[in-house]
Structure 1
Amino acid sequence: MPLPFLTADRAFDEVADDVALPFDDRDQWRRPYRPGPWRVASAALLLLLASYVLFAAVIIAFAGGLGGASVVGVIALLIIASALRLLRVGTWVSALGLRHVAFFQTQTVPWAQIVTVRTVQQPVRWLGLPRTVQGQALLLVRRDRPAEKCALLTSHSADFLARTEAFDRAADSIEVWAEEYRPQHA
């Protein structure tokens, strides 16, 4: 079974240095990096929990409580949906624009609305928790909201914690996409 999210880094590793965007179909939304081990481990633990909850639903159904089994089954489906959404979280690019997928919302910005995408040193949240540490962030500055800067990636997120080379490669590739597709204004 092909897992396209595992091939993102390999696509950049296998191309020549003079090719910045190694994809043929640039209209397709893609994440230019792999999900990190913290994100994958969290999703795997959620799926493990869902399997136990589904097993409990089967036991409840065999015991004769169909109402309770259906409630527990719905809870298991919500856990599975949460695990899948957790794997989708990240920054996605295509020729149409840049898409920032969070757990509860998705924000798509066309390239024409983007002023700049750049990496800066700043305090960032550690694994999305309230605690902040000094790290790097890939910031998006939009034309319609110039005072608001959105952090697309951080060096201490679930995708890049203790993976500085992966963060640098992902930030560079998103910056290349922005330079390629963002209209140049003088």
Structure 2
Amino acid sequence: MNTASSKPWILGLTGGIGSGKSAAAEHFAALGVHVVDADHAARWVVEPGRAALKKIAEHFGADVLQADGQLDRGALRTLIFADPQQRLWLEALLHPLIRDEIAQNLAQATSPYAILVSPLLVESGQHATTQRVLVIDAPQALQIQRTLLRDNTSEDQVRAILKAQASREERLRHADDVLVNDNDLKALQTEVERLHHYYLTLRGGQS
């Protein structure tokens, strides 16, 4: 059980699409750091049997459920894109639940610090719950190239996602640390290890 004095501090980890934040998070986890992914939390809160899914089905109708009772994300996305009011309704329902899910999961950390990985750390205001922010940064051409290799998507779609995410300047403005990931995976892992050793020397996330 953590005493208040040894409670882990929280590092927010973010970066644009194709920056390599997932690879960085995986290496932090391999080093023994407790990692919570905001995207995973967003999926957990709408699993069958959870109250949120029942409310979504009551509000939008059974069409947003698949035959096996899981949420049909595609159908829901179509509905909320067509009507901004519906998107606001959904966000009002889910955001507090996701926040609680993340907080509960972070509270289970036994490592000296824990990491909240979120592509929307800055836009969603989640950075306010962290003591320090690490931005994984990469040149835009490289972000596009990596995403095209990884996802079955078009360059136009990748550019649209880049536009929707916080501007690079905005992200970097909130950063305490910036890891420029413009090399190979080994170089990224070496940088993660360097930061990890530095973070272990910090109290409460600040030097």
Name the TM-score, length of structure 2 as normaliser: 0.23
Rg larger for: 1
Q: Please identify which structure carries the higher strand content.
A: 1
Q: Please identify which structure carries the higher helix content.
A: 2
Task: Tell me: higher relative CO, structure 1 or 2? Use CA pairs within 8 A at least 6 residues apart.
Answer: 2
